[in-house]
Structure 1
Amino acid sequence: GSSNWWWIDSHGKESPSRSPWLMSTLAELEEKTKGMMKLIEEEADTFAQRAEMYYKKRPELITMVQEFYKTHRSLAEQFDHMRSESTPSRGLPTPWSSSSASSFANYRLEKSLSMIEKGCDIYSEESDGGSVVENPDEEEEEDVATRLGEMVERLREENRVQKRQLREKDEEKREVIRQLSLAMELLREENLNLRKDLLVRNSEKKVEIDKSRGLFIGRFLKGF
Structure 2
Amino acid sequence: MLTREKIMRLLTLLLITLFASLSQAWADTETTTNGNPVEQQIIQLEQRLTELTTHLEQLNQIVNSQIMEELQQLRVDVETLKNQPLEKSAEKPQPATEKEATVLILKGWSYRPEKIKFNNYYAIDVELTNHAGKDILEFDARLNFRDTLGGYLYSINLSRNLNIPAGATRIDQGSRENNRLIGEEHQMRKIQSQDIVVQLVVRRIVFADGSIQRF
TM above 0.5, yes or no, is no
Higher relative contact order (CA 8 A, sep 6+): 1
Query: What is the TM-score when the length of structure 2 is the normalising length?
Result: 0.34
User: Which structure shows the higher strand fraction?
Assistant: 2
Query: What is the TM-score when the length of structure 1 is the normalising length?
Result: 0.32
